Amino acid sequence: MKLETPYYLINEKALLSNLRIIGGIKKASGAKCVLALKCFAAWSVFGLIRQYMDGTTSSSPYEARLGHEKFGKEVHVYSPGYKRQDIFDLRGIADKIIFNSVSQLKTFGPLAGKARLGIRINPGISYSHFDLADPARKYCRLGVPGKRLIRQALPYIDGVMFHFNCENTDFENLRASIDYIGNEYKDILKYCKWVSLGGGIYFTRKGYPVEDFCAAIRDFAGRFNTQVYLEPGESVIMQSAELVCSVLDVVRNKTNTAIVDASTEAHMLDLLIYSLDAKVNAVEGKGFRCAIAGRSCLAGDIFGSYRFKRRPRPGDIIRFKDAGGYTMVKKNWFNGLQMPAIVVKRLNGKIDIVRKFGYKDFVDNLS
């Protein structure tokens, strides 16, 4: 089947490979896993994901409603700041509401209905390659930093959340961090029925010491007699989606640049935010050197520079790999560019075009 570019292609077989690892981790560690919708919320594949995961975790009432309606199972919510109406929207659909401060917990906790309440703790340690995403950066507003304040929250909560990782592939760092949390907050954790260790742990990456990871989680849970939650996002979708686009033109200004019918600004925004290159199938060493650029008016709309076996030509297909996380949830209508369709390759090999976007979607997004 020839598909019109650009489109995001989600491969269910590759997704299933990650999910089976997650299923094994749950069984061996006793942890529960909830999908981080801030990273990936393509509900057309929730039917597969829900077979291996325990629910969703959200950052807003809209995400929580999506998790409730399209995924089912547990619905967790955390936000740096809630409005009063948010709590009314959440009660009845959220199983756990996690607050960022003691003041919001005391103000809105009584309005939360039957939802279990928790608070986010900032342990002052983290693993991140980027200051922008570091959950324990200087003066960080995310989570309660002092144990005195946390103790004030204990009468109102039955669980806590620590989010201290970002793209962490270093198990020894993770083990040391879990040990630190267990020792530093032991007098608080003994009151917790559940503890979320957040997301950002790359335990589905090839070579990750899964058995050691499970043992560390199991030991932590046993020490405090608590239910551990993990909140994977990219670990769920890792290496299972592509952004597929076509070369429109090749231009030269001292160097060669192929322009494609997609955009970093509109379709892979994290590349710009974190100054990263997109991943493509390219050759090492010798080959035709060419940058790949988007077709927006932004001068820095560059996917990266690569070597190819030959000079790219108009009509060539370029596939940006590992393009599931933080792409479809961040895509936008900058320049009014054609929004990539969402396509799923099902387990049986069928290609399913689950969503196409047109001019009406562009207009309806404005006013």
Question: pLDDT value at position 285?
Answer: 65
The alpha helices in 91-157, defined as continuous H runs, are: 102-108, 147-153
- Decide if 299 contacts 312 (C-beta within 8 A): no
Give the Cα separation of 90 and 98 in Å (integer): 11
Give the Cα separation of 354 and 218 in Å (integer): 39
| Cα-Cα end-to-end distance for the chain | 36
Question: pLDDT value at position 284?
Answer: 65
Provide the greatest CA pair distance for the chain: 66
Please, which residues have CB within 8 angstroms of residue 276's CB and are 6 or more apart in sequence? 270
Please, which residues have CB within 8 angstroms of residue 265's CB and are 6 or more apart in sequence? 272, 294, 296, 298, 301, 332, 334, 335
Give Cα separations from 15 to 19, 22, 189, 198, 260 (angstroms): 6, 11, 34, 21, 26
- Decide if 77 contacts 97 (C-beta within 8 A): yes
Torsion, Cα 296 299 305 307, to 10 degrees, reads 70
Looking at residue 68, the DSSP 8-state letter turns out to be I
CATH fold, domain 240-364, is Lyase, Ornithine Decarboxylase; Chain A, domain 1 (2.40.37)
Question: pLDDT value at position 286?
Answer: 77
For the chain, the domains span: 12-237, 240-364
Give the Cα separation of 167 and 110 in Å (integer): 36
* CA count, 13 A, side-chain hemisphere, 145: 11
Give the Cα separation of 367 and 364 in Å (integer): 7
Question: Residue 177 corresponds to which tokens in the numbers above?
Answer: 């961090």
| Mean pLDDT in order along the chain per 10 residues (367 residues) | 93 98 98 98 98 98 98 98 98 97 98 97 95 94 94 96 96 97 97 97 97 98 98 98 98 97 98 96 79 98 95 96 98 98 98 97 94
CATH fold, domain 12-237, is TIM Barrel (3.20.20)
pTM: 0.96
